[in-house]
């Protein structure tokens, strides 16, 4: 028989043990166990612009991104949904191919309507359901419900560079920019937003949540519109400087991380950088540092911002419980100094520059730097250089440091991956094209997806199936010249990563099978297992008839 005294002691120990287990399973402790999530989304950063991805043919120093790769996993066959901006952003945030929406080609235009509908589940909406504080900082470019009357839209843009705002302009701007702007990030799952929407488009001011920070009172100053700076004229805050944007986004991001870490609550940061996309507004500290081009200088400045974010995570004591994902929305643009071809020069003059008499851009390739690495094409193209991008995941203790994965992955996969991490199923009408990457993050080298679709700026689709790539048309579908003699293209990327040998005529059965697969992916409204879903519009079919 146990003595009474010892019996009481034994009971007390059991009670203490029970209470410790109980408290360890409280919602608060579960919340702390969930990883913080930081997505850093570069703009127009090519696969070969990151030194660790392109050590032999890359000349830009990117020590902070390289450090992220050394501490995490680098994916070498990762893709954005498009060779341009808005469609890739839509897919990353929703896990759904952009061409299922109204955006069949191109980007969301100036003052365009929201592309993400409020009923659609986004990454931010998903994690918010699990107690995360969510923030979007930087470029949005997915549309807003701008409170601009249709009959006054002409007052919010100008074809002229050097134009002075009239009293009518100022009156209407004051009325419109005093109103909230619905339909942006805070309408689709983000608790807060701070950014410039599109830095080279008006309005030239910051936006916080759903309002402009101050009221634009003048047209953009002429100094904003040099070669590869701002591209469209419109309302601006007085003394607006493009060089201030990137440092401000860095400061707001680090402040958010430090604030939420101090509050001991899980946070989700979508840092959508405005660089190294134009405007090539490099700050003095980085001007000339690359000895390659202004674009390369901006890549180095962008890398430094990544370093500031990583430092804030470490300084805040949350590094061990923070999942960091770094990637880019598409490849490097052909008009920022990659080549000296007449086509690149003409494109630069026609599309992006106010200065029609400027000399051709200097060539980074001639200096030994290849922004697309070993791949063909650039931003806008359906060829690999348009949408094969750096994709790095760091998660201490969960993802092996210095590891690499050559499996096919897509930015659509993020929402299923995070849902898997949070152990929550996605609804049938969410993440229709998203596959979980968690097996790969744990070290598996088996495919998680058998196929993926990425398109050009003009909507031309490229379908991957294993190592094979089918393109439903004869050229790049973008700005890079070059046509095929055949109406479609077929490449074996394992043997020909540069897409130089079109095998369509030699593999007619494979072409037919991949044509049928593409049609199936379109018509079923999803590429993952699950009930058939409806596309928002009738999807354009290719090849064009």
Q: What is the pLDDT of residues 372-428, one digit of tens each?
A: 999 999 999 999 999 999 999 999 999 999 999 999 999 999 999 999 999 999 999
Residue 407: predicted pLDDT: 98
Whether residue 316 has pLDDT greater than 70: yes
Whether residue 159 has pLDDT greater than 80: yes
Assign 218 to helix, strand or coil: strand
Residue 237: CA atoms inside 13 Å, Cβ hemisphere, count? 16
Fold of 451-523: Arylsulfatase, C-terminal domain (3.30.1120)
DSSP codes, 476-501:
-SSSS--B-SSSSEEEETTT-TT---
d(Cα 141, Cα 90) in Å, to the nearest integer? 9
Residue 482: predicted pLDDT: 85
CA neighbor of 264 nearest in space, from 419, 23, 34: 34
Q: Report, as an integer, the average pLDDT of 18-39.
A: 60
The answer to whether residues 371 and 53 touch, using CB atoms and an 8 Å cutoff, is no
CA neighbor of 332 nearest in space, from 138, 135, 48: 48
Cis peptide before 203 (omega within 30 of 0): yes
CA neighbor of 141 nearest in space, from 168, 166, 107, 169: 107
Residue 536: phi, psi to the nearest 5? -70, -30
> What is the 3 state secondary structure string of 354-389?
CCCCCCCCCCCHHHCCCCCCCCCCCCCCCCHHHHEC
Please say whether the dihedral angle defined by the alpha carbons of residues 497, 501, 505 and 506, taken in this order, is positive or negative.
negative
Asked whether this chain's domains 33-152+181-210+239-441 and 451-523 adopt the same fold, the reply is no
Q: What is the pLDDT of residues 468-486, one digit of tens each?
A: 999 999 999 999 998 778 9
**239-264 burial: b if 16+ Cβ within 10 Å, else e:** ebebeebbebbbebbbebbbebbeee
Whether residue 2 has pLDDT greater than 50: no
Give the CATH H-level superfamily of domain 33-152+181-210+239-441: Alkaline Phosphatase, subunit A (3.40.720.10)
Whether residue 158 has pLDDT greater than 80: yes
Domains in the chain: boundaries = 33-152+181-210+239-441, 451-523
Q: Could you tell me which residues are beta bridge partners of residue 41?
A: 272, 327
Assign 36 to helix, strand or coil: strand
d(Cα 289, Cα 296) in Å, to the nearest integer? 8
d(Cα 258, Cα 40) in Å, to the nearest integer? 16
Residue 430: predicted pLDDT: 98
Whether residue 361 has pLDDT greater than 50: no
3-state helix, strand, coil in the chain (%, to 5): 35, 15, 50
d(Cα 389, Cα 292) in Å, to the nearest integer? 21
DSSP codes, 311-354:
HHHHHTT-GGGEEEEEEESS---TTTTT---HHHHHHIIIII-S
Q: Which stretch of DSSP H or E encloses residue 168?
A: helix 167-176
Residue 250: predicted pLDDT: 98
- For residue 480, give both structure tokens: 């890079």
d(Cα 502, Cα 394) in Å, to the nearest integer? 37
């Amino acid at each position: 028989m146990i003595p009474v005294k010892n019996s009481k002691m034994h009971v007390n120990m059991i009670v203490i043990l029970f209470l410790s287990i109980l408290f360890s399973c409280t919602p608060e402790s579960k919340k702390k166990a969930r990883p913080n999530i930081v997505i850093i989304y570069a703009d127009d950063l090519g696969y070969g612009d990151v030194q660790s991805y392109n050590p032999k043919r890359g000349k830009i120093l990117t020590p902070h991104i390289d450090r992220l790769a050394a501490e995490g996993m680098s994916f070498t066959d990762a893709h954005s949904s498009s060779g341009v901006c808005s469609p890739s952003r839509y897919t990353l945030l929703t896990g759904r191919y952009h061409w299922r929406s109204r955006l069949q080609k191109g980007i969301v235009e100036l003052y365009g309507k929201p592309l993400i509908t409020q009923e659609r589940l986004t990454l931010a909406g998903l994690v918010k359901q699990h107690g995360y504080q969510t923030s979007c900082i930087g470029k949005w470019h997915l549309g807003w419900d701008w409170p601009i009357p249709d009959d006054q839209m002409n007052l919010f843009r100008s074809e002229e560079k050097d134009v002075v705002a009239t009293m009518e302009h100022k009156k209407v701007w004051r009325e419109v920019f005093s109103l909230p702007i619905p339909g942006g990030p805070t309408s689709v799952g983000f608790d807060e937003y701070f950014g410039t929407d599109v830095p080279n488009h008006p309005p030239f001011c910051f936006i916080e949540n759903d309002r402009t920070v101050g009221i634009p009172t003048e047209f953009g100053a002429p100094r904003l519109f040099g070669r590869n700076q701002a591209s469209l004229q419109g309302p601006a805050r007085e003394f607006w400087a493009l060089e201030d944007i990137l440092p401000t986004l860095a400061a707001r991001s680090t402040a958010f991380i430090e604030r939420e870490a101090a509050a001991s609550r899980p946070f989700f940061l979508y840092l959508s950088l405005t660089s190294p996309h134009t405007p090539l507004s490099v700050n003095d500290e980085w001007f000339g540092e690359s000895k390659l081009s202004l674009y390369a200088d901006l890549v180095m400045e962008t890398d430094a911002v990544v370093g500031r974010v990583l430092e804030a995570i470490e300084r805040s004591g949350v590094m061990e419980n923070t999942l960091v994902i770094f990637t880019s929305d598409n490849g490097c643009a052909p008009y920022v100094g990659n080549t000296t071809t007449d086509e690149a020069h003409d494109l630069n003059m026609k599309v992006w520059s106010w200065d029609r008499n400027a000399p051709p851009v200097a060539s980074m390739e001639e200096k030994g730097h290849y922004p697309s690495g070993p791949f063909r094409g650039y931003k806008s193209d359906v060829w690999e250089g348009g949408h094969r991008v750096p994709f790095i995941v760091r998660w201490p203790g969960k993802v092996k440091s210095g590891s690499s994965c050559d499996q096919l992955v897509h930015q659509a996969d993020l929402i299923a991956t995070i849902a898997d991490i949070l152990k929550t199923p996605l609804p049938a009408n969410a993440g229709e094209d998203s596959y979980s990457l968690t097996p790969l993050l744990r070290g598996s080298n088996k495919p998680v997806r058998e196929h993926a679709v990425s398109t050009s700026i003009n909507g031309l689709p490229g379908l991957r199936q294993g190592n094979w790539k089918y393109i439903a048309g004869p050229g790049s579908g973008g700005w890079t010249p070059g046509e095929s003699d055949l109406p479609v293209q077929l490449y074996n990327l394992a043997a020909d990563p540069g897409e130089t040998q079109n095998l369509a005529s030699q593999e007619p059965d494979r072409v037919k099978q991949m044509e049928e697969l593409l049609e199936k992916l379109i018509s079923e409204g999803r590429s993952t297992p699950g009930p058939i879903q409806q596309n928002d519009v009738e999807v354009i079919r290719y090849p064009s008839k």
